[in-house]
């Protein structure tokens, strides 16, 4: 018998209440997902379809109303085996960039010499060595995001949950970071669950794309991506299978948004979905 996958999400539902009128929001409905070892999974879907909620559930920050999440065979709890890059960066304002990045290693009791080496390595990787001694408020949005990324990578977790980690980077830095992330991951494989709104980014990085839809938040399709790696040269975007997959995903997302009455782009259109 095969061992259970490291992350098993089975039949999970979660309903929130809107603060405004206490009306219910079905953030996740009957979501099931397995994350296998050494796989890079991207989570794609329109705003409000429950991507962040799913990540927070896998990290143990919120509990499902029904269904079950198991991480390494147990209910999840935040800790060093799971790294989290939050959609909002959540840097600690009174610590310098260097100390923000090293914070998790201090908690783990890693010795000072190794801690310094690892912090320097990851600061360099995200291009922030020169800003190691400044405080978060002195950084641009993109720099804060890179600091948050270094902070999550530095503990070298077995599972890395990344909530739109490149969203506030400019286009060039974003591509560089995609390349670095893929290089790093190919050298030291782990489970990555990576949320993005960019269809190109989802295709370029993933072994598997999980497409989610809103109201209720659910998984609508899971697609294995078999494009050869590495994928960082520009030709990949010209391959026929890349273009077709990209077009397919775009259409699915467009349909979902146009069919969603609460979306600004609602047209009532009801293509098959």
What residues between 27 and 46 interact with ligand ATP by CB under 6 A? 27
Q: Does 16 bind ligand ATP (CB under 6 A)?
A: yes
Which residues, other chains included, contact 203 with Cβ-Cβ below 8 Å and sequence gap of 6+? 42, 209, 225, 227, 242, 245, 246, 249
| Out of 9, 29, 50, 52, the residue judged to bind Mg ion by CB under 5 A | 52
Site map 141..180 versus ligand ATP, x via CB under 6 A: ----------------------------------------
48 near ligand ATP, judged by CB under 6 A: yes
Q: How far is CA 8 from the centre of its chain?
A: 17
100 binds, among Mg ion, ligand ATP, none (CB under 5 to 8 A by kind): none
The reply to whether 39 sits near Mg ion by the rule CB under 5 A is no
Q: Which of 39, 42, 53, 100 binds ligand ATP (CB under 6 A)?
A: 53
Considering only 5, 10, 13, 25, the residue that binds ligand ATP (CB under 6 A) is: 25
Write down the residue that tokens 């720099």 correspond to. 143
Q: Would you say 51 or 118 has its CB closer to Mg ion? A: 51
Strand 218-224 relative to strand 208-213, pairing = antiparallel
72 burial via Cβ count (<10 Å: 0-12, 13-18, 19+): middle
Of residues 104, 123, 217, 252, which one binds ligand ATP by CB under 6 A?
217
Both tokens of 31, joined, read 């979501």
Helical spans, DSSP H, in the chain:
51-58, 97-108, 112-125, 141-153, 171-187, 199-205, 240-259
Longest dimension (CA), the chain: 60
Contact region for Mg ion (CB under 5 A) — 43-51, 107-115, 212-220, 235-243?
43-51
Give the dihedral of Cα atoms 211, 214, 217, 219; nearest 10 deg. -20
- CB atoms near residue 200 (< 10 Å): 16
The closest alpha carbon to 49, from 195, 250, 205, 207, belongs to: 195
Nearer to Mg ion, 53 or 100 (CB): 53
Q: Is 51 a binder of ligand ATP (CB under 6 A)?
A: yes
| Binding segment toward ligand ATP, per CB under 6 A, in 51-59, 93-101, 149-157, 250-258 | 51-59
Where along the sequence are the contacts to ligand ATP (CB under 6 A)?
A: 16, 18, 25, 27, 47-53, 87, 217
Where along the sequence are the contacts to Mg ion (CB under 5 A)?
A: 51-52
């Amino acid at each position: 018998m095969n061992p259970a996958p490291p992350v098993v999400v089975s039949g999970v539902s979660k309903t929130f209440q809107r603060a405004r009128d206490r009306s219910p929001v079905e953030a996740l409905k009957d979501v099931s997902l397995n994350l296998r070892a050494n796989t890079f999974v991207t989570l794609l879907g329109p705003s409000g379809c429950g991507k962040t909620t799913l990540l927070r559930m896998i990290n143990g920050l919120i509990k499902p109303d029904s269904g079950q999440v198991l991480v390494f065979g147990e209910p999840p709890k935040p800790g060093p085996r799971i790294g989290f890059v939050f959609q909002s960066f959540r840097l600690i304002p009174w610590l310098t960039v260097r100390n923000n990045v090293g914070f998790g290693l201090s908690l783990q009791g890693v010795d000072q010499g190794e801690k310094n080496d690892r912090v320097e390595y990851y600061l360099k990787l995200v291009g922030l060595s020169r800003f190691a001694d400044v405080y978060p408020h002195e950084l641009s949005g993109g720099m804060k995001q890179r600091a948050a990324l270094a902070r999550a990578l530095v503990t070298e977790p077995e599972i890395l949950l990344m909530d739109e980690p490149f969203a506030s980077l400019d286009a060039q830095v974003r591509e560089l970071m995609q390349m670095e992330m893929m290089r790093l991951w190919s050298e030291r494989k782990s489970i990555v669950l990576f949320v993005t709104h960019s269809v190109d980014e989802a295709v370029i990085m993933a072994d598997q794309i999980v497409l989610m839809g809103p109201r209720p938040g659910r998984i609508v399709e899971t697609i294995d991506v078999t494009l050869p790696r590495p994928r960082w040269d520009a030709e990949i975007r010209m391959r026929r299978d890349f273009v077709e997959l990209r077009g397919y995903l775009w259409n699915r997302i467009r349909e979902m948004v146009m069919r969603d009455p609460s979306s600004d782009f609602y047209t009532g259109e009801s293509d098959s979905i």
